[in-house]
Amino acid sequence: MAWWRRRRDIFDIFEDFFKEIEEVERAFLREFEDMLTRTSMIPEKPGQPIVYGFRITIGPDGRPIIEEFGNIRKTRGRPIISEEHEPPVDVFEEDDHVVVIAEIPGVEKDKIDIRATENKLIIKASDTNRKYYKEVELPVEVKPETAKATYKNGILEVRIQKKEVKKEKKEEGIKVKVE
């Protein structure tokens, strides 16, 4: 077999691969359109957006964590579209603080309402076009009175001091001379 004939076979593999990808994309779009009609997820108010997303992260125990965000709420029957969006949130535990970062673009700083308890943070924000609401369970107990928040370019950062800061005891011991 000539070399140019073998080379054509290699390109045929890629052509078949891209045809398969296109077929999967068409099937996905058919399923998505079918889902929208079956669940009657068309907004009651014209112009009301449908926002749904999820992200997968790995928790400290090595298990995957799936977090959903958007304005679609699950119920026993069909999904309900809310005016309030649930923003994506990251929670970080530092030595003596818990840091919560939320993406809430499009609102003014004075339209953000944050409430903190010892184990929960509630974020509410609303402007003329956007409304956000999220309840965040904190990984440890915190001192709510120490909460400080900053907001810049649509990113809200809340820092709260932990209730108990455990300090590791360092064993000093007696220095032993090596001979």
Concatenated DSSP letters for 38-65? Answer: HTT-S-SSTT----EEEEEEE-TTS-EE
67: confidence class by pLDDT, cuts 50, 70, 90: confident
Give the pair of three-digit tokens for residue 27. Answer: 């099937």
For the chain, give every domain's residue range: 1-38, 52-161
Residue with tokens 């609303």: 126
39: confidence class by pLDDT, cuts 50, 70, 90: low
122: confidence class by pLDDT, cuts 50, 70, 90: very high
Please give the pLDDT value at position 44.
Answer: 56
Mean pLDDT within 48-55:
73
pLDDT above 90 coverage of the chain, percent: 34
Please give the pLDDT value at position 55.
Answer: 77
Whole-prediction pTM value?
0.60
**In the chain, helix, strand, coil percent, each to 5?**
25, 40, 40
How many Å is the maximal CA-CA distance in the chain? Answer: 84
Amino acid at 89: V
- Give 32 or 134, the one with higher predicted confidence: 134
Q: Is the model's pLDDT at 24 over the cut of 70?
A: yes
As a dihedral over the C-alpha atoms of residue 113, residue 74, residue 34, residue 53, rounded to 10 degrees, the angle is: 40
**What distance in Å separates the CA atoms of residue 22 and residue 26, rounded to the nearest whole number?**
6
The per-type count for the chain, helices as H runs and strands as E runs, is 1, 10
Burial of 30 (0-12, 13-18, 19+ CB in 10 A): exposed
Which of 93-102, 143-152, 164-173 has the least mean pLDDT? 164-173
The CATH architecture of the domain made up of 52-161 is: Sandwich (2.60)
